[in-house]
Amino acid sequence: MDGYQLLAGVVLLSIFVSQLTCEAYKVEKYSLLMPNVRPNTPELYLCTPIKVDPSKGYYIVGFEPNATMSTAHHMLLYGCTTPGSQKAVWNCGEMAKHDDYLETSNPCESGSQILYAWARDAPKLELPEGVGFRVGGNSSIQYLVLQVHYAHIDKFKDGSTDNSGIFLHYTERPLNKLAGVLLLGTSGSIPPRRIEHMESSCSITEKKVIHPFAYRTHTHSLGKVVSGYRIRRGDDGRDNWVLLGKRDPLTPQMFYPVLNSDPIRYGDRLAARCTMLSTRDRWTEVGPTNADEMCNFYLMYWVKNDQPLKKKYCFSMGPPTYYWDSEDFNNIPDEEASKL
Ligand code: CU
Ligand code: CU
């Protein structure tokens, strides 16, 4: 080999290496959009599914919304094991009322988890570098279901249609940081004309290191503050409450960066509180409609070289049966948890 060939070889090799490092993996886009629907009643929730190839694993690394708040009130992307319907589009409202020509069912029939939420012209969400939701293959997510809430329908009166949705950014290259979502929530009932705390907590009982990076809160109209914590007991027996996220749940209900991304470990506990203010003369129960309430805190995280938590939900009985006080907690940040 002469000098020139050697040089050419080095140049080729360095181009190859720089491609490997700069373009760590190829990201492609998949359009998950409403198939030109024409909403015919206000406050309509529509769902449309895609089946993911079960013979191959994919990794979703980002979500790019294709919607404006003038058309879509909110969008949610669900991962499902089985979808709520076999139809191309169905009515899937939390607050769904029965409709003459569209069947009403949940977004998922089984294995439901929320992967992305959009509201009020929120920007796209890119997961941290090297993190992805594994879908397809032998994962529990075999379908992706897009839900769009159409609040107002005036603009469809002239016959125009809508294709709001999400461009999914994905790669086929296996990633070693897998994303997951843990949902903390409660049942229970809220007394009339009172401030009530809806509280949940649970322990991490799987030997994994969990890196939290985003959170989302959800209540209906009575929610004032939703806060979520990681609790770790010190050697002195004192519980250290670290705030993961806190906000007014009536601000856009999308995923926001966590306030503390320190890893969560085996033995840690997680807790969430929704501070609710009822000015109603009646009791308010947890339930799906706008007349009911919900208390949800979603935590999005990644784990390295491991599967996401088997535990997807952390639910308590809620008021008046369950409070943080019912647990062996100390040092509870009672004021801070309810104050914005
Ligand atoms: Cu909405
Ligand atoms: Cu709800």
34-37-43-46 Cα dihedral, nearest 10 degrees:
-40
Where does a domain end: 175, 202, 232? 175
Which residues form the domain of 71? 28-175
Residue type for 161, please?
Answer: T
- Tell me, yes or no, whether 332 lies in a domain: yes
CA 119 – ligand 1 centroid, Å: 7
122 and 207 together in one domain? no
For the chain, residues with pLDDT lower than 70 are 1-24, 94-103
Q: Distance between CA 59 and CA 173 in Å, rounded? A: 8
Q: 98 an active-site residue? A: no
Q: Distance between CA 18 and CA 12 in Å, rounded? A: 10
CA 2 – ligand 2 centroid, Å: 71
- The number of the ligand nearest the C-alpha atom of 94 reads 2
Where does a domain end: 126, 155, 175? 175
- The number of the ligand nearest the C-alpha atom of 76 reads 1
For 300, the 3-state DSSP assignment is strand
Largest CA distance in the chain: 91
113 and 202 together in one domain? no
191 and 333 together in one domain? yes
pTM over 0.75? The answer is yes
Q: Which residues surround ligand 2, an ion (CB under 5 A)?
A: 294
- The number of the ligand nearest the C-alpha atom of 286 reads 2
- Tell me, yes or no, whether 1 lies in a domain: no
- Tell me, yes or no, whether 65 lies in a domain: yes
- The number of the ligand nearest the C-alpha atom of 120 reads 1
- Domain with residue 89: its CATH number is 2.60.120.310
255 and 135 together in one domain? no
217-218-220-225 Cα dihedral, nearest 10 degrees:
-20
CA 61 – ligand 1 centroid, Å: 24
Q: Distance between CA 330 and CA 232 in Å, rounded? A: 11
Q: Which residues surround ligand 1, an ion (CB under 5 A)?
A: 73-74, 149
92 and 162 together in one domain? yes
Q: Among the options 74, 169, 197, 211, which is catalytic?
A: 74
93 and 119 together in one domain? yes
271 and 198 together in one domain? yes
- The number of distinct structural domains making up the chain is 2
Q: 300 an active-site residue? A: no
- Tell me, yes or no, whether 303 lies in a domain: no
Q: What is the pLDDT of residues 53-109, one digit of tens each?
A: 999 999 999 999 999 888 998 899 999 999 999 999 999 986 544 444 556 789 999
Q: Among the options 69, 73, 95, 317, which is catalytic?
A: 73
82 Cβ contact partners less than 8 Å away, ≥ 6 residues apart? 108, 109, 110, 111, 142, 143
- Tell me, yes or no, whether 49 lies in a domain: yes
For 19, the 3-state DSSP assignment is helix
- Tell me, yes or no, whether 194 lies in a domain: yes
Q: Among the options 169, 197, 211, 218, which is catalytic?
A: 218
230 and 165 together in one domain? no
CA 150 – ligand 1 centroid, Å: 7
Q: 149 an active-site residue? A: yes
Q: Among the options 169, 197, 211, 220, which is catalytic?
A: 220
Q: Among the options 34, 113, 149, 198, which is catalytic?
A: 149
151 and 291 together in one domain? no
- Tell me, yes or no, whether 4 lies in a domain: no
241 and 278 together in one domain? yes
Q: What is the pLDDT of residue 103?
A: 61
Q: 169 an active-site residue? A: no
Q: Distance between CA 286 and CA 272 in Å, rounded? A: 16
Q: 211 an active-site residue? A: no
Where does a domain end: 152, 175, 198? 175
- Tell me, yes or no, whether 18 lies in a domain: no
CA 223 – ligand 1 centroid, Å: 15
168 and 54 together in one domain? yes
Q: What is the pLDDT of residue 21?
A: 42
CB of 277 within 8 A of CB of 283?
Answer: no
Q: What is the pLDDT of residue 68?
A: 87
87 and 43 together in one domain? yes
Q: What is the pLDDT of residue 289?
A: 78
- Domain with residue 244: its CATH number is 2.60.120.230
Q: What is the pLDDT of residue 102?
A: 57
